[in-house]
Amino acid sequence: MVVEEIMKTEVITLKKDDTIETALQLLNEHHIRHIPIINEQKHILGIISDKDIRDACPSIFQKEEHCNELQNSVEKIMTKNVITVHPLDFVEEVSAIFYEKEIGCLPVTKEGKLVGIITEKDILYTLIQLTGALQPSSQIEVKVKNISGMLAKVVAIIAKRKVNINSVLVYPYSKSEEYKILVFRLQTMNPTSIINDLKNAGYTVLWPNLPGITL
């Protein structure tokens, strides 16, 4: 999956000379947390967040003393070194940027111009969709040896029961590099027969931990 499939293309933006007060109004009106700052050519000059706005707003105990602070331009509080991504970047790689840089959004640019925006909420929702967690289903976790061909063998056992697989995840087994964990979300509410088939084939099912299954 690439960024252009999940990014928002209708982006609320500001110019660098717009006021902080205007930014605050837009954040509240559109229930957003970030606003890119662009020029006439849609090139990104910076970005501001709701945190930047909060830091710039005077305390309720100091409003009279600093009543003109919100009339400052957003240029004075915006972050200028903005990390951007391309519409054809893979969502998995973009997720790593969110994690490593600890940021809440990424503007999406093409040929230097803003074409969209992607937020950490978009990433989380995409993960939910990819795992099929919102669909009626059940999940099983199978420990297998970390060698080629294991996924195909386990899938073949599931296929014999004519049950659809909504999603598959693979992650390392924390106790040994010799194994890995296959996580299946299956389109059935009762995976007992599949679990028994896997057990009879010599596989270890870590979840669900039904009686008689050795971990």
The whole-model pTM stands at 0.79
Please give the pLDDT value at position 135.
Answer: 82
Tokens at 177, concatenated = 């590099």
| Tens digit of each residue's pLDDT (9 = 90 or more) over 163-200 | 999 999 999 999 999 999 999 999 999 999 999 999 99
Please give the pLDDT value at position 215.
Answer: 39
Compute the half-sphere exposure of residue 26: CA atoms within 13 Å on the CB side of its CA. 21
| Tens digit of each residue's pLDDT (9 = 90 or more) over 34-71 | 999 999 999 999 999 999 998 887 665 455 554 578 89
Please give the pLDDT value at position 207.
Answer: 93
In order of their start, the domains of the chain are 3-128 (3.10.580.10), 133-207 (3.30.2130.10)
Please give the pLDDT value at position 79.
Answer: 95
